[in-house]
Structure 1
Amino acid sequence: MKMSTSDVKYSVLDLSPIIEGGSPAQSLQNTLDLGRHAEKWGYTRFWLAEHHNMPGIASSATSVAIGHVAAGTSTIRVGSGGVMLPNHSSLVIAEQFGTLESLFPGRIDLGLGRAPGTDQLTAMALRRTRRTDAQDFPEQLEELRTYFDPSRSEHALPVRAIPGEGLDVPIWLLGSSGYSAQLAGELGLPFSFASHFSPDNTLPAIDLYRRSFKPSEVLSEPYIMVGMNVIAADTDEQAAYLATSMQQSFLGMIRNKRDGLKPPVKNMDELWSPHEKAMLQQQLGSSIIGGRDKVKEKLADFIAETGANEVIVNGQIYDHQERLRSYEIVADIMKDLQN
């Protein structure tokens, strides 16, 4: 399916990166600063991701971070990209996002994933039990939706989500494989695919979502957002240099060494083995890295290939000012593509 670039929205996915030698406090201030700039540059939404036990990510208390950004902005939608539902009770998430929607009406999104977003020991520390896992996701999702809309149940609920009940908080399903794509389609919910770390599954998952889609009270036709890594700079060479921080981050995950976001380096070949390089090139295969012209061409091609209604951009860049510049360039490009 071809999507005209004039119709495509653009959004921000922020992991609130903690740089090497930096602090979570500074990272969360940088997140708010990016949110304010994103609002000014015309981004549709600003999403924060839930991760735990990761020294390089400050957005673990995702709903709190969402409130921080929403309070410091005025119009941009703010939400989760995503909350990992198996880590929580559905009631707690309904109350948290009901509170956010009550504070910032019409601006809150609830993106949900079914992965733990962490290692198994940390997942156990979060959940305190092994009974709830990703296999329970459809049931947890239905429970959550019923807290917001009790009419989904034939019986009066013994427990109510206050705030939450009666509020319209848009729910998205997030995924990096076919499972959530098919579930989102069958439920008629919007779907966001994590192409930024699972590029090989992008087109099959999007196709499965479209084939599975059934119109609902939420959507009459499929709506697809695709997550992507974009590192933009004033030159191709500068962008390639900045992107080495992201590459080092993924290299650390391969080696099970998760540290703060490292400063860029001139030569990654001094850090990775040929095998690790090949693994990273596959995992980061959809990343767009370059100056304005290169990024514009590749973004237009990506949108045409995926038929995405919206792209959500992740930019893991060490220097905050360089990160702002990258998102500014992307916003300028998307405005050009929309004209």
Structure 2
Amino acid sequence: MAGQAGFFDVEERLAGLSKKGDDLERLAAVVDFQLFRPELEAAVPRADRSRGGRPPFGHVLMFKVLVLQTQNNLSDERTEFYLRDRLTWIRFLGLGLGDPVPDANTIWMFREVLTKADAIERLLDLFDRQLREAGYLAMSGQLVDASIVAAPKQRNTKAEKQAIKEGRVPEAWQARSAKLRQKDRDARWTIKYTKAKPSEDGRKQVDLAIPAFGYQNHISTDRRHRLIRKWLVTDAAAHEGSRLSDLLDPGNTAAAVWGDSGYRSKKNEALLTQQMLVSCIHRKRPPHRPMPMWTAKANAKKSAIRAHIEHVFAEQKARMGLFVRTIGIARATTKIGLANLVYNMHRLIWLERQAVPG
């Protein structure tokens, strides 16, 4: 029977994990988490402890817990489990093996208070300033795009759906507060179209129309470093092209703006001209006519640059498993905003690694 693990046994295990490459060690070394402390303390005030009680967990520690939760797509309960289970997580939080860890209710409450304080956007702005001060300026133009973030599907009747679209609470829900709390009245259905590839014999296939429910993550990245500079969360049915003005970054050192054809409109072209920006947005195919050869070639050149923004969404959905588990657009904004912040942290690690001479 194995004996109880001692201090040096734990240290030896952690040293072995470091040799194998602990991503959290790199994250802690690259990101100054103390930078977020003033904003976190302002957003999440502590109660008066003059009457005693257990000391609360630190603001920075709780923020690190949200980072761990976000990059691993975990519920509050599973986050609590892994906080108790993983040595690398304990080391990342600066805790000892016998120290208490936040439970699921504490994690939920901290994130809820951040949501009510609208703090997530200010946290992203703080980190963006750190990036710029470190030399990672927004350079070489900007790429804009949006991606649907799925949420749990709602099973509503036609009458309930109509009431939600009109901004009303369905009558059947008004007397059932428990049911109302479980209904997301901000998320929307939309149709996502996917172009089918031609068959081997050259015949054109039928395009796919895939229904999706949830929210949209609208982002703007700089072309040089591919860091998220501007972002916005809407329901899934919102038209991406109408949000261009909210995504333009005036701090970018270049004037070019890349986007798919969903952003092409007279209003947006006038907006870019007014702000002295250069439109590199894809042109649409003329209605009921084939795409002109010169337009197709121009769009292909733009795609070679614009496609880089798709890597952001691939990182968030494939590696981070981004999915909105919460209810309401305010909580979804916090969830998606945290995913954007964690992506920038991961991207900074990669950029710092490239800057190290081989």
TM-score by length of 1: 0.30
Normalising by structure 2, report the TM-score.
0.29
Larger radius of gyration: 2
